Amino acid sequence: MELCPSQSFECKPLNITSLPPEDLASLKAFNEKVADMAKAVYAADNHRQKLNELMPYIEKALLTIQDKDNALLKSYYSIQNELKEIGILLNGDPLISRYEGSSRTSIKSKVDIITGELWSTTSGQTKTFERSYEEVAAGFDAILNKLRVVNKQVQSLEAKLETAGASATPGRVPGWRNE
């Protein structure tokens, strides 16, 4: 049962802010850019975490291979180091902050600062927000490319594990021949 027909409407700010934004369209465009960047940064870090969680299983699978292959071990350790480096680039170095105090603000922290401040302000974006956005955008492409390379390396290593007869790892479809 329909109570009334649907109607379209447009939301507008109430203009009761003490410092209203000078250019609402510019603020909207900046918010959309920041939202897209935040989504990409968090998705990249989430994927890095998933690959990191897979590494102990790959290590155990390497140990099940009858004919040990040093190239596979080298590949494993290389991937592990790359994932650690990507984690530091995205989240900062926990050892520096733990033992030396404050470390350089990480990409993910910059995204958090920008999004957190944009949620709590009624004025437009600041030059600091714009500069932080540009810093993140400039550094994130290289990190994302590095993550893509590592992802392919993990897939390649898993294919080699399958060929070598290693035990299964999560997410890897096992090969099987009914003879």
Query: What is residue 12's predicted lDDT score, i.e. its pLDDT?
Result: 74
The count of structural domains within the chain is: 1
- Asked whether residue 32 is domain-assigned, the answer is yes
Which residues, 6 or more positions from 107, have their beta carbon under 8 angstroms from its beta carbon? 41, 89, 90, 136, 139, 140, 143
**Most confident listed range (15-19, 155-159, 175-179):** 155-159
pLDDT at residue 144 in the model: 96
In a domain, 152, yes or no: yes
Domain contains 169: no
Contact 47, 151 (CB under 8 A): yes
Tell whether the torsion through CA atoms of 160, 165, 170 and 174 is positive or negative.
positive
Convert the pLDDT of each residue in 12-69 to its tens digit.
Answer: 766 666 666 677 788 888 889 999 999 999 999 999 999 999 999 999 999 988 887 7
Supply the pTM of this predicted model. Answer: 0.80
Higher per-residue pLDDT: 163 or 95: 163
Q: Is residue 73 part of a domain?
A: yes
pLDDT in tens, 96-148: 656 666 667 788 988 988 888 887 776 778 888 889 899 899 989 999 999 99
Predicted pLDDT of residue 121 = 72
| 177 within domain boundaries | no
Whole-number pLDDT of residue 15: 64
SS3 letters for the chain?
CCCCCCCCCCCCCCCCCCCCCCCHHHHHHHHHHHHHHHHHHHHHHHHHHHHHHHHHHHHHHHHCCCCCCHHHHHHHHHHHHHHHHHHHHHHCCHHHHHHCCCCCCCHHHHHHHHHHHHHHCCCCCCHHHHHHHHHHHHHHHHHHHHHHHHHHHHHHHHHHHHHHCCCCCCCCCCCCCCC
In a domain, 172, yes or no: no
Whether residue 149 lies inside any domain: the answer is yes
pLDDT of residue 41: 95
The model's confidence at residue 175, banded by pLDDT at 50, 70 and 90, is: confident
156 located within any domain: yes
The pLDDT of residue 101 is 63
- pLDDT on residue 82: 97
Q: Which residue range is the domain that position 102 belongs to?
A: 24-164
